[in-house]
Amino acid sequence: MVRDSQTSLEEKGAQMSLDQSKVGRVVAEQMEAIENDYGEDCEIGDVCTIVEVVGPHGSHVRVRSSDMRPHSGLGLIRMAEQAMLGNLGGAAE
């Protein structure tokens, strides 16, 4: 029996039916917050998503950046780390 690549992709799609609503909701909330904070006079630069995938295999982290150059993606991740830690405002006086 010969299987074509389309058939195997369709089968994988059926097996990997993930609920994307959580990712969509988080991105929509982020876009709303950006519009509220910065208005319409700005544009979105690079984008990086970090997603935890939990399943029978355990927990894996997936990262994807709009700019696939490693120094760009790593820079965004490091800036995000600082933002999450609250260190972007400079030293407290």
**What pLDDT does 17 receive?**
73
**What pLDDT does 46 receive?**
93
Closest CA to 50 of 34, 69, 19, 27: 27
| CA–CA distance, 31 with 17 (Å, rounded to integer) | 25
- Copy the structure tokens of residue 4: 């074509």
Q: What is the mean pLDDT of residues 18-28?
A: 92
Torsion on CA atoms 69, 51, 26, 46, rounded to nearest 10: 0
| CA–CA distance, 32 with 39 (Å, rounded to integer) | 10
| CA–CA distance, 43 with 66 (Å, rounded to integer) | 14
Q: What is the mean pLDDT of residues 24-30?
A: 95
**What pLDDT does 53 receive?**
93
pLDDT digits (tens, 9 = 90+) for 34-90: 999 998 889 999 999 999 999 999 999 999 999 989 899 999 999 999 888 986 655
